[in-house]
DNA sequence: AGGCTAATGTCAGCCACTGACAGATGACAA
DNA sequence: TTGTCATCTGTCAGTGGCTGACATTAGCCT
């Protein structure tokens, strides 16, 4: 029996059953991501994944709603960190600045949390597959808009506005999200998959929003 | 590649075989959209569609790459009109204004073209299903980003820029696209599904981009 | 120990989608 | 008109994602 290593003393002690579930889920995630990163998404069947972990296909679908779902297990982690970072911004800060700083600042904690689960390198290889696989890219974009909706509500609450009455929260977040995706795409397409490179790209892209919306690009 | 639009095309007369194909395709589209609009996307099987048209399932998949594909048949029409409208904008016009006017101005011609194929009302009901069905929404968003990529290239060309070197074209289009999607969503969620309502929503949303990105929302 | 409950495996089946092969049908030239 | 040919279509078999139903196993608790 391989133990997990880190001494986790949660208040309600996990219990054997709960720990077994955790191990199965993690094993499925790791096996799935490893296979997807090497063979590609369509080249990996659910049976491949379950065979690697030695569980039945049915069990896989009890842990994950779909084959897509397991590919975004790590991404879900990252999203929750971004949401927390936005919530943690000081009141009075300008909305756009809230988003900008939250995204840039959360990268380090995100990477830390990801490494608890899978090697960072694996996560990045999977991300490339997501960007280059139509079905996964589509799912990624849908997830992104759901995140945007959540962020818009948070921003609206900060500003004391009604999201459905005032369009600015959703518009700001949508524009911001679009820019972030441009950065993500450049990142996944480029050579440098480091965190620093990602931060630089996002900074650059965000700095160009103003000029891009300006009347005349020549004066830039 | 079928060019449906302008009348300056079909010099070689269709031929019986070609006309039959056209009829089959149109019948499939109409049957599919009607079923999807009434029973919903997941409630409609490909067999339902092919049964309504009395062709084999195999034939359906020779006309459409997937079940999703048929749901976006009309949307493809609309997209090509937007692209044409952007290409037709006078040189010298500011990039953001190009997108804005192209989208707003093409709505009428789009509706005209759509009605050649299916009732406008049906198209709108299908659009609502797209927005509310996760799988279709995901596909819609992926298609939207592909359209954005095309528009970014056109904008870059207008301005004499290299899309991969200067980030502004993609950023502008991404931000613009995000705002458009907010408008689309409000439109599909609201009561008034008229063209005028859509145009108003888009105008309102676009007018709020500047203020939304501003430092302090209270001064608005 | 024994009962309760939750996790898992097995099985059957639906649906989207595909390759291979065979038959039907316009297109076109002799 | 007829025969050849390319193309469209249907049938069939099979794969893969996904689900419901039911039986079995295994942690939990008294």
Identify the residue among A182, A188, A204, A219 best suited for mutation to test binding to B, counting B beta carbons within 10 A and taking the highest: A182
Average pLDDT over residues A110-133: 95
The residue of A170, A173, A176 whose CB has the most chain B CBs within 10 angstroms, and thus the best one to mutate to test that interface, is: A170
Residue A53 has what pLDDT?
98
- Any idea which residue has 């795409």 for tokens? A185
Predicted local confidence at residue A190, as pLDDT: 87
Nearest to B170 by CA among A185, A112, A31, A149: A185
Pairwise CB contact (< 8 Å): A171 & B205: yes
Q: Is A4 on the interface with B (CB under 8 A)?
A: no
pLDDT category at B16 given cuts 50, 70, 90 is confident
Output the pLDDT for position A19. Answer: 96
- Taking each helix axis from N to C terminus, what angle separates A134-158 and A73-87, rounded to the nearest 10 degrees? 20
The answer to whether B13 CB is within 7 Å of strand C is: no
Residue B1 has pLDDT above 50, yes or no: no
- Its sign, for the CA torsion B87, B91, B93, B96, is positive
Chain A positions touching B175 (Cβ under 8 A) are 174-175, 178-179, 209, 212-213
Instruction: Provide the pLDDT for residue B15.
Output: 86
Query: Which member of A142, A204, A216 has the closest CB to residue B134?
Result: A142
- Taking C1' of C19 and every protein CA, the nearest residue is B58
Contact B179, B207 (CB under 8 A): no
- CATH class assigned to A72-219: mainly alpha
- Four-CA torsion A36, A143, B202, B194, nearest 10 degrees: 100
For residue A72, the 8-state DSSP code is T
Decide if A88 touches B, using CB distance below 8 A: no
- Provide the pLDDT for residue A11: 52
pLDDT for position B20: 96
**B12 strand C contact, CB < 7 Å:** no
Share above pLDDT 90 across residues of chain B, in percent, rounded to a whole number = 84
On whether the CB atoms of residues B169 and A213 are closer than 8 A, the answer is no
SS3 A75: helix
Per-domain residue ranges of chain B: 16-64, 72-219
pLDDT-based confidence at residue A3 (cuts at 50, 70, 90): very low
- The shortest C-alpha distance from A152 to chain B (Å) reads 11
Residues of A in contact with B212 (CB under 8 A): 95-96, 167-169, 171-172, 175
SS (H, E, C) chain B: CCCCCCCCCCCCCCCHHHHHHHHHHHHHHHHHHHHHHHHCCCCCCHHHHHHHHCCCHHHHHHHCCCHHHHHCHHHHHHHHHHHHHHHCCCCCCCHHHHHHHHHHHHHHHHHHHHHCCCCHHHHHHHHHHHHHCHHHHHHHHHHHHHHHHHHHHHHHHHCCCCCCCCCHHHHHHHHHHHHHHHHHHHHHHCCCCCHHHHHHHHHHHHHCHHHHHCCCHHHC
Judge whether residue A2 has pLDDT over 50. Answer: no
Residue whose structure tokens are 């650059």: A204
Of A73, A46, A78, A45, nearest in space to A60 by CA:
A46
CATH of domain A16-65: 1.10.10.60
Mean pLDDT on A22-41? 98
Q: What is the largest CA-CA distance in chain B?
A: 66
The confidence score (pLDDT) of residue B216 equals 85
B199–chain A nearest CA distance, Å: 15
Q: How far is Cα A141 from Cα B41, in angstroms, rounded to an integer?
A: 20
B96 touches chain A (CB under 8 A): yes
The pLDDT of residue B10 is above 60? no
pLDDT of residue A216: 85
A-chain residues within 8 Å CB-CB of B203?
none
pLDDT for A167: 94
Residue B137 contacts A where some CB pair is shorter than 8 Å: yes
Instruction: Work out the angle at residue A164's Cα, subtended by the Cα atoms of residues A162 and A168, and round it to the nearest 5 degrees.
Output: 75
Distance (Å, whole) CA B202 – CA B186: 10
Weakest mean pLDDT among A176-185, B143-152, B195-204 = B195-204
pLDDT at residue B215 in the model: 82
Class of domain B16-64: mainly alpha
8 A C-beta contact, residue A43 and residue A37: no
CA dist A203 and A188 (Å) reads 16
Average pLDDT of every residue of chain B: 92
Residue A165, CB half-sphere, CA atoms under 13 Å: how many?
Answer: 6
Cβ proximity of B175 and A175 under 8 Å: yes
Give the residue-averaged pLDDT of B178-182: 96
Tens-digit pLDDT profile for residues A159-198: 999 999 999 999 999 999 999 999 999 998 888 888 889 9
């Amino acid at each position: 029996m391989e133990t997990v290593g880190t001494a986790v003393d949660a208040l309600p002690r996990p219990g054997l059953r709960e720990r077994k579930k955790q191990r199965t889920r993690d094993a499925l995630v790791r096996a799935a991501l490893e296979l997807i990163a090497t063979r590609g998404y369509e080249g990996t069947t659910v049976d491949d994944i379950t065979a690697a972990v030695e569980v039945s296909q049915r069990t896989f679908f009890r842990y994950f709603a779909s084959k897509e779902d397991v590919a975004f297990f790590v991404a879900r982690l990252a999203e929750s960190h971004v949401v927390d970072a936005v919530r943690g911004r000081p009141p009075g800060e300008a909305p756009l600045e809230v988003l900008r700083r939250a995204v840039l600042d959360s990268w380090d904690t995100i990477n830390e949390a990801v490494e608890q689960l899978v090697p960072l390198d694996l996560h990045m290889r999977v991300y490339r597959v997501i960007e280059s696989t139509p079905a996964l890219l589509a799912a990624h974009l849908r997830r992104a808009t759901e995140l945007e909706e959540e962020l818009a509500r948070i921003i609206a609450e900060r500003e004391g506005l009604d999201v459905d009455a005032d369009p600015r929260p959703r518009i700001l977040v949508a524009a911001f999200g679009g820019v972030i995706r441009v950065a993500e795409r450049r990142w996944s397409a480029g050579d440098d998959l480091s965190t620093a490179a990602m931060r630089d790209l996002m900074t650059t892209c965000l700095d160009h929003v103003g000029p891009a919306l300006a009347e005349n690009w020549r004066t830039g």
